[in-house]
């Protein structure tokens, strides 16, 4: 058995180009923040992780890292305990994010040390490829003050949403389609869904208003959505409100907002608030925590998929290894990956085949850090001046007077 104690942890904040994508909270800024985590174990083996790059997470990682030196790389109970001790006031939302950031790198390091893939360490591969969905956004043509836009152009109407979908599906082969909503009046966004249905008659559709609709608004529109959606994601805010809506419809409600922590499971599931949970190893506490969440969902007959945020390839392959080892993954996963042009792994961006990702060859996660790109994206972080995500502030550059209120409609 190889020696696998942690000898060093390195965290590098990075920033990469992000399009002006719209959501209920506002508009994506010109750069998205991430952190790249390297866990070095005995023998010089380095495992990789990727997580959030905001100040709170970076500070949490900085506080926890010294306490993890000497810990066995698979002592996950010790990882949780020491991270909890390191983070001020035992922040219940921050601790799982710090654990998740380090834990993925631990699995990667152990996989490299034992010549095993992460999916095999998580219980074994149950699917050859992992399906992802086409994640559609309303968007501006360019960032405020920019001289030119991106290849996607402006997307603010149902017709433009359909063209965006065609472009993404032609490029990547996705089958399921998700529309990020809560930007315009619900009637306009539902019109976009109908336009998508006309253009893609067989595609599973889902819409995510990000908690932007009041309960009465959601109830009003349920008849129009019945038979149109495979699920309705977070139309409104909170477990009680979601439970009220779910009781009124056969459309499965999904969430990555009202059940996002183990403490939310008992109240959320007992209230019947949702029928689908979108897991995310970045904030649930890593890959093992999400496998445990999958078993809970199976026991409660709750559907399971994966949430996404702006991310690069290390996060994508971690999601894919987890999905490949999760028998009851019942819906195609979300991913922002087609929206990103930068990459921090050797070989450049990973390719989807027929809407799915095949796991890379090799032990661990199967990817290697491109150190030149890491240095470039770290310099971008230092130069861009962004340390905390502020979609509302960015939106006010385009729409003065915008307020990020939830629910809005």
Residues involved in catalysis = 180, 307
In order of 237, 262, 297, the CA distances from 56 in angstroms are 24, 21, 30
Q: Is 293 within 8 Å of 267 (Cβ atoms)?
A: no
Place of tokens 């080892």: 325
Among positive and negative, which fits the CA dihedral 291, 297, 298, 302? negative
Cα–Cα distance for residue pair 165/333, rounded to 1 Å = 16
Contacts of 115 (CB under 8 A, 6+ apart): 363
In order of 18, 36, 347, 348, 378, the CA distances from 373 in angstroms are 16, 12, 11, 10, 8
Contacts of 176 (CB under 8 A, 6+ apart): 131, 133, 134, 203, 204, 205, 206, 230, 331, 332, 355
Q: Is 203 within 8 Å of 229 (Cβ atoms)?
A: no
């Amino acid at each position: 058995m190889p020696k696998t104690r942690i000898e060093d942890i390195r965290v590098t904040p990075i920033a990469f180009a992000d399009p002006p994508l719209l959501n209920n909270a506002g508009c994506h800024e010109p750069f998205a923040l991430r952190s790249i985590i390297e866990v070095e174990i005995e023998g010089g083996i380095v495992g990789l992780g990727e997580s959030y790059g905001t100040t709170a997470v970076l500070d949490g990682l900085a506080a926890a890292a010294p306490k993890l030196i000497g810990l066995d790389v698979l002592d996950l109970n010790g990882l949780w305990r020491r991270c909890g001790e390191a983070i001020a006031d035992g922040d219940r939302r921050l601790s799982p994010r710090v654990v998740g950031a380090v834990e993925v790198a631990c699995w990667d390091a152990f996989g490299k040390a034992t010549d095993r893939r992460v999916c095999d360490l998580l219980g074994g591969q149950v699917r050859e490829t992992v399906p992802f969905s086409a994640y559609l956004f309303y968007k501006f043509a360019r960032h405020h003050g920019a001289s030119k836009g991106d290849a996607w152009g402006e997307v603010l109407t149902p017709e433009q949403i359909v063209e965006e979908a065609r472009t993404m599906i032609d490029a990547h082969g996705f089958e399921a389609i998700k529309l990020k909503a809560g930007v315009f009046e619900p009637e306009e966004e539902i019109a976009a869904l109908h336009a998508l249905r006309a253009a893609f008659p067989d595609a599973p559709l889902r819409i995510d208003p990000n908690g932007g609709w009041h309960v009465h608004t959601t109830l009003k529109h349920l008849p129009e959505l019945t038979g149109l959606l495979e699920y309705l994601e977070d139309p409104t805010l909170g477990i009680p409100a979601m439970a009220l809506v779910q009781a009124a419809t056969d459309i499965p409600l999904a969430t990555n907002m009202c059940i996002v922590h183990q403490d939310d499971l008992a109240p959320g599931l007992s209230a019947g608030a949702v029928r689908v949970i979108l897991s995310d190893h970045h904030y649930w506490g890593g890959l093992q925590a999400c496998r445990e969440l999958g078993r809970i969902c199976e026991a409660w007959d709750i559907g399971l998929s994966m949430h996404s945020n702006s991310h690069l390839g290390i996060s994508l392959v971690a999601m894919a290894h987890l999905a490949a080892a999760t028998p009851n993954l019942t819906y195609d996963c979300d991913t922002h990956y087609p929206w990103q042009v930068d990459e921090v792994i050797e070989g450049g961006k990973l390719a989807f085949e027929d809407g799915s990702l095949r796991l890379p060859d090799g032990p661990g996660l199967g990817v290697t850090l491109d150190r030149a790109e890491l240095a470039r994206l770290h310099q971008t972080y230092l130069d861009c001046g962004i340390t905390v995500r502020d979609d509302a502030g960015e939106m006010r550059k385009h729409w003065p007077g915008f307020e990020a209120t939830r629910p809005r409609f």
